[in-house]
Structure 1
Amino acid sequence: MERWFSRITMFWMLFLGEVQSQDWTKCSTGCTCDGNKMSVTCNGLKNVPNDIQKDAKKLDLKYNSLSKLSPTAFHGMKELTYLGLEGNKLQALPAGVFDQLVELDRVQLGGNQLKFLPSGIFDKLTKLTYLTLSTNQLRSVPQGVFDSLSSLSTISLEANDWDCASCDILYLSQWIRVNSEKVKYYASGRYQPDPDGVTCQGTMESVNKITKENTFQAGCPTTTQQMATSPASTTTTETMTVREKQTKPRMKIFQEELFSKASIFFCQVIFTQHVSLVVIHILAEIPLLHIVCVVRKP
């Protein structure tokens, strides 16, 4: 009985080994497979093939024409350690697309058209050490999106559309300050720390310099326009967000409908030190980037 059981076991081992060999010889269309390195490299694709070897350790899909991913595109690939998606046309990532890639060590997502990241997109990637998100169209990232990346040592975030006028930027700003040694830029053949190189859209201001205290005077969210009147005087108050920083110095015209055309006043915004009012009296010294101008009828 034992001999019979041993023969059956040996037969299944040989059969499974043959299946694995056959799997690696039958490579997906447009792809090259290396069974020794357990790697798959694909070119000229518009979609991720559904017959890629599930035991692959390296999947190189860089510089294809992928515009979207199926939520199950990488399901079952639990041994994958490298995933290259750089240089495609991805505008979004489906929630959970990486959840089964628990062994993943490196992910390249740079050079796409990503406009946002789903919450929890990297939560299962606790072994990830390397992540590129540079050269996309990201304006912010979800609260806590990087918090599960306990093994991360390198991340690239530059050349995005970081919206520093939005309260949503505050998580990223703080995360970069705390993890400055991990935020790197590729130059001269290697990655080197450059946390200040992650800059706000339209300016050279570093994202890590944006804080609630020096940016959002009234706290988040900011109010873009606020009107206030009192019996003693007719007052127009307009609050401008940090977008005003993008052109400096800037001239702003304020007009209250009760004023005559000859009574229009100008308020010049100075960004180099503190905000003050020109022509009219100085209302108050306001923290940089949050501007309040009050115009009163003379």
Structure 2
Amino acid sequence: MERWFSRITMFWMLFLGEVQSQDWTKCSTGCTCDGNKMSVTCNGLKNVPNDIQKDAKKLDLGFNSLSKLSPTAFHNLKELTYLNLDINQLQTLPIGVFDQLVNLADLRLNTNQLTSLPPGVFDHLTKLTILGLGDNQLQSLPHGVFDKLTELKTLSLNDNQLRSVPDKAFDKLSKLEMIVLTDNDWDCESCDILYLSQWIRVNSEKVKQYTDGKYFADPDGVTCQGTMESVNKITKENTFQAGCPTTTQQMATSPASTTTTETMTVREKQTKPRMKIFQEELFSKASIFFCQVIFTQHVSLVVIHILAEIPLLHIVCVVRKP
């Protein structure tokens, strides 16, 4: 009797073990599953399956036709360490879509159609070491979007439409080893480029380019829009915006949401046409010369008051009269 009970017990254990292993054989439609590596690979999909194994460590959704994600698409997959969404048609990312993936170390979003990122989209990914955002249509980055990624080692932002990055955008990435910034629309005629320019100079060995199947340091390869001038060569002295604040001044100002008088002054100088500035300077010099001629010839004050109908001459001539 005891021997028979032992055999029944062993049978049930084997049966239950077989049933448990069959969880990985019942893979989502359009996907293949590897129970040993705890990985799932899906192809030919337009939506993320809702029955992916909850204990999956790796999920490869690359080369699909995903155009959008549900905010809860990955909320049951808390064990994921790798998520590949490369080469899809994603145009936006919902707020909170990655919030449950607290163990994620590798997130690939390259070659999609992302034009923007929601604020805080990566804030819960504190174990992330690799983040790929290359070959999208990103036009700007939210302030602080990378601040929580203190373990990040690799960041790809190449082949987007970025004109600048927010002040202090990379300052919290203390473990960063490689960043790819090539082929963007870096606007070197804007004061906003100064942070990136200085950051590249200080971190030149981290700024890489991908060529012939390998990455190599190339800080000079990050170039200004429409020219071959390197971004890291741009300083406030060699741009036409003489009023750009220094990096120290930028760091001392209030957050980007607050517009200071100094910032407004800089913007006014940025938008003021060069020709207009030149014309005003030329007119001012000509006025001073004219007044000097008047005083040399001892022209009466009456004439000066007549000339005062022209405001600039009034200021120059009356104030400068000996």
1:133 is displaced (CA, Å) by 0.3
- d(CA) in 2 for partners of 1:206, 1:168: 15
Is the contact made by 2:157 and 2:181 (CA closer than 8 Å) also made in structure 1? yes
Higher mean Cα deviation, 165-174 or 34-43?
A: 34-43
How do 1:46-195 and structure 2 match up within 5 A?
46-49=67-70, 50-52=72-74, 53-195=77-219
State percent identity of aligned pairs: 53
Higher mean Cα deviation, 107-116 or 182-191?
A: 182-191
Structure 2 alignment gaps of length 5 or more: 1-18, 40-56, 245-265, 291-322
CA gap of 1:31–1:206, structure 2 versus 1, over 3 A, is farther
Is the contact made by 1:32 and 1:41 (CA closer than 8 Å) also made in structure 2? no
1:46 is displaced (CA, Å) by 1.1
Aligned length: 217
What is the one-letter code of the residue matched to 1:48?
Answer: L
Report SS of the residue matched to 1:181: helix
Q: Say yes or no: does 1:208 pair with 2:208.
A: no
1:23 is displaced (CA, Å) by 9.2
Report SS of the residue matched to 1:192: strand
Is the contact made by 1:113 and 1:137 (CA closer than 8 Å) also made in structure 2? yes
What is the one-letter code of the residue matched to 1:202?
Answer: G
What is the one-letter code of the residue matched to 1:40?
Answer: L
CA gap of 1:111–1:33, structure 2 versus 1, over 3 A, is farther
- d(CA) in 2 for partners of 1:167, 1:62: 33
How do 1:23-34 and structure 2 match up within 5 A?
27=28, 34=34
1:71 is displaced (CA, Å) by 1.3
- d(CA) in 1 for partners of 2:34, 2:201: 41
Q: Which of 59, 82, 101 in structure 2 is aligned with 1:40?
A: 59
- d(CA) in 1 for partners of 2:237, 2:222: 20
CA gap of 1:138–1:72, structure 2 versus 1, over 3 A, is same
Aligned equivalent of 1:278: none
Deviations 1:223-272 (A, max 9, x none): 433334443468xxxxxxxxxxxxxxxxxxxxxxxxxxxxxxxxxxxxxx
- d(CA) in 2 for partners of 1:66, 1:19: 35
- d(CA) in 2 for partners of 1:51, 1:128: 24
Is the contact made by 1:31 and 1:41 (CA closer than 8 Å) also made in structure 2? no
- Relative to total residues, which structure has the larger helix share, 1 or 2? 2
What is the one-letter code of the residue matched to 2:217?
Answer: P
Aligned equivalent of 1:239: none
Q: Which has the higher contact order (CA 8 A, sep 6+)?
A: 1
CA gap of 1:194–1:100, structure 2 versus 1, over 3 A, is same
The normalised TM-score by structure 2 is 0.62
> Runs ≥4 in structure 1, deviation > 6 angstroms?
18-21
- d(CA) in 1 for partners of 2:93, 2:102: 18
- d(CA) in 2 for partners of 1:200, 1:34: 46
Is the contact made by 1:125 and 1:149 (CA closer than 8 Å) also made in structure 2? yes
Aligned equivalent of 1:287: none
CA gap of 1:211–1:127, structure 2 versus 1, over 3 A, is same
Is the contact made by 2:127 and 2:149 (CA closer than 8 Å) also made in structure 1? yes
1:190 is displaced (CA, Å) by 1.3
Report SS of the residue matched to 1:97: coil
- Relative to total residues, which structure has the larger strand share, 1 or 2? 1
The normalised TM-score by structure 1 is 0.67
Deviations 1:187-222 (A, max 9, x none): 122110000000000000000000012224622234
What is the one-letter code of the residue matched to 2:194?
Answer: L
What is the one-letter code of the residue matched to 2:112?
Answer: N
1:98 is displaced (CA, Å) by 0.3
- d(CA) in 1 for partners of 2:116, 2:23: 34
- d(CA) in 1 for partners of 2:226, 2:26: 50
Report SS of the residue matched to 2:117: coil
Structure 1 alignment gaps of length 5 or more: 1-17, 235-298
What is the one-letter code of the residue matched to 1:134?
Answer: N
